[in-house]
Structure 1
Amino acid sequence: MFPREGGRVKPAVFSYLDPRTLEEALGALADHGDDASVLAGGQSLVPLLNMRLARPEVVVDVNRVPGLDALRVDAGAVRVGALVRAAAVERDPAVAGALPVLAEAVRHIAHPQIRSRTTIGGNIAHADPSSELPAVLAAVDGAVVLRSAEEERTVGWEEFFVSVFTTAREPEELVTEVVFPVRPELEFRWVEFARHHGDFPVAGVCLGLSLADGAVRQARLAATGVGDRPLRLREVEAALTGSVLGPETAREAGELAGRAVDPPSDVHGSGDFRRAILATLVRRTIESWPGQAQRGRKGAAA
């Protein structure tokens, strides 16, 4: 089925470029456009090359480009350079202190060996609709910084993720930074269901709540695995706002989340299965939230 040589799957022939400056990398992308693929961690691109599902004429390896591996945490955001490895985010105490849900979600990505190579920029740019990090980016209203030889622009998550493996990045652009805003007024949780540890989730949710006397002042809910891109479930957010957390609120929110999505069916499960998993994840996450009342009811936040 796939071309093999010596018993191993081999990629089609391509030219390899190894730029040592950002300007060289951007120049290569400007020269080759759609014929070029960017190599960072290689955890997605290399298998695609080997199976010949990707056939670029040129591979631009950005691993030796300085300045793309900066991880900065300030009062406003966690700013992750494109080459920062997932393992670095997972272990960084400043990230854990500023936005713990980001480190929590990263711990669900595959296995430690994979996380040691996977880059945050590559994960976001790949735009897998079942990936964890795009959903976290959606929940915190994050953005992606794109650079070309001509300009730099910052694109919000909703504009950046277009469809399955498709983003707003132009062929001559490079993802240079991913910005996860810090939302101190919200407490976030990441929860997912995968068939096996390290698999992509069948469904996952990033839920953020701000409570006062058990009542929800603000809610953020993003989901992965149930659409062609990360989804913000704004109907559920609106329904939760003003509610007092409890079993009934959790049940209603889960049911609403299930009705709000139209997941595809694939080898991992039917659309109805993914919808049911999502509803259960939302319900159980709310049920386990600290500081809630014994019985859910509607009411204005105190």
Structure 2
Amino acid sequence: MIPAAFDYVAPSTVDEAVRALSAAGEDAKVLAGGQSLLPVLRMRLAAPSTIVDLGRIAELRGVRDETDHLAIGAMTTHYDVQRDQLIAEHAALLAKATDTVADPQVRHRGTFGGSIAHADPAGDLLAPALALDAEMVIAGMNGRRTVPASEFFQDFFTTALAPDEILVEVRVPKFTGWHAHYEKFNRVAQAWSMVAVAATVRVDGGTIAEARVGLTNMAAVPVRATAVEQALVGQPATPEAIRAAAAHAAEGTDPTPDNNSDVEYRQELARVLTGRAVSAALAG
């Protein structure tokens, strides 16, 4: 199917992009990598009056070391996130999760910020961003503001972004020396997560000193498995301790049933995958 007609704008700066969005009104759409927007346009599930293409804004690409955190440009591709040495050293969980996103073609075109801003609860980068206490830098007509991941994701496909705002970068605190793993369950290769678990832990002398665990597709927004984190801290890095902590994974979750699974099945998946994710992180 052919998309409905729309105006096309390709600004070269963030300020120009914000002005274009503001001028176009609520019917405008932002084009990042296009891996989510273009299929919707082709099926005419959306008919924006204007498309604002961020592809020419150099400021939105790349990873920077900002001493106590990494700044990841919103237009940085999944492929570049996978291979960036700063991310591998200081935010390994993001690299692990990005490895599971779709297929190589999508990872070459899709963008880190585009996935975050799309806010699909089955998307594989939301839970890692939440687990790592990431912050979103947003630009709008009134300047820039910073929103923590815990407040950025608000509902299905809904974020703190206003219609005339764009995501500029994602700031991720450094987790240097932490072990990490992303455990994903899907029915077929390259599909969205039915359930997934993002886990990163710091071990000191054989004891789990700190732990962060995020759940994918267990609610309308990514969920932090705080009960699991609390149960892990101070425990020996043993299979028994991991299994006992993982039993808490589904607490407080509200997964939406669909044709693939009901609530109880997803909650059991969360417990099983949490145990696998933490075990794999510790073994890595």
The alignment's TM-score, normalised by the length of structure 1, stands at 0.88
Q: 1:279 aligns with which of 240, 246, 271?
A: 271
Tell me which residue corresponds to 2:148: 156
Deviations 1:63-103 (A, max 9, x none): 11231113213442221111111111112223222222211
SS in structure 2 at match of 1:80: strand
- Please report the RMSD computed on the Cα atoms of aligned residues, expressed in angstroms: 1.7
Tell me if the contact between 1:145 and 1:177 (Cα under 8 Å) persists in the aligned partners.
yes
Tell me if the contact between 1:191 and 1:206 (Cα under 8 Å) persists in the aligned partners.
yes
Tell me if the contact between 2:181 and 2:281 (Cα under 8 Å) persists in the aligned partners.
no
Tell me which residue corresponds to 1:6: none
Tell me which residue corresponds to 2:223: 231
SS in structure 2 at match of 1:243: coil
- Which region of structure 1 is more displaced relative to structure 2, 53-62 or 18-27? 18-27
Tell me which residue corresponds to 1:97: 89
Tell me which residue corresponds to 2:99: 107
> Relative to structure 1, is the Cα distance of residues 174 and 246 closer, same or farther in structure 2, using a 3 angstrom cutoff?
same
Q: 2:243 aligns with which of 246, 251, 269?
A: 251
Tell me which residue corresponds to 1:142: 134
Matched, 1:78 2:70: yes
Report the Cα distance in structure 2 between the residues aligned to 1:221 and 1:150, rounded to whole angstroms.
35
Report the Cα distance in structure 1 between the residues aligned to 2:261 and 2:183, rounded to whole angstroms.
18
Number of residue pairs matched by the alignment? 283
Tell me which residue corresponds to 1:211: 203
The alignment's TM-score, normalised by the length of structure 2, stands at 0.93
* Larger Rg over CA atoms: 1
Matched, 1:67 2:49: no
Tell me if the contact between 1:235 and 1:260 (Cα under 8 Å) persists in the aligned partners.
no
Letter in 2 for 1:53: L
Letter in 1 for 2:50: V
Q: 1:31 aligns with which of 20, 23, 44?
A: 23
Structure 2: runs of 5+ lacking an equivalent:
none
Report the Cα distance in structure 1 between the residues aligned to 2:279 and 2:125, rounded to whole angstroms.
24
What is the CA distance between 1:250 and its match in structure 2? 2.2
Tell me if the contact between 2:179 and 2:202 (Cα under 8 Å) persists in the aligned partners.
yes
What is the CA distance between 1:51 and its match in structure 2? 1.4
- Which region of structure 1 is more displaced relative to structure 2, 125-134 or 178-187? 178-187
What is the CA distance between 1:59 and its match in structure 2? 0.9
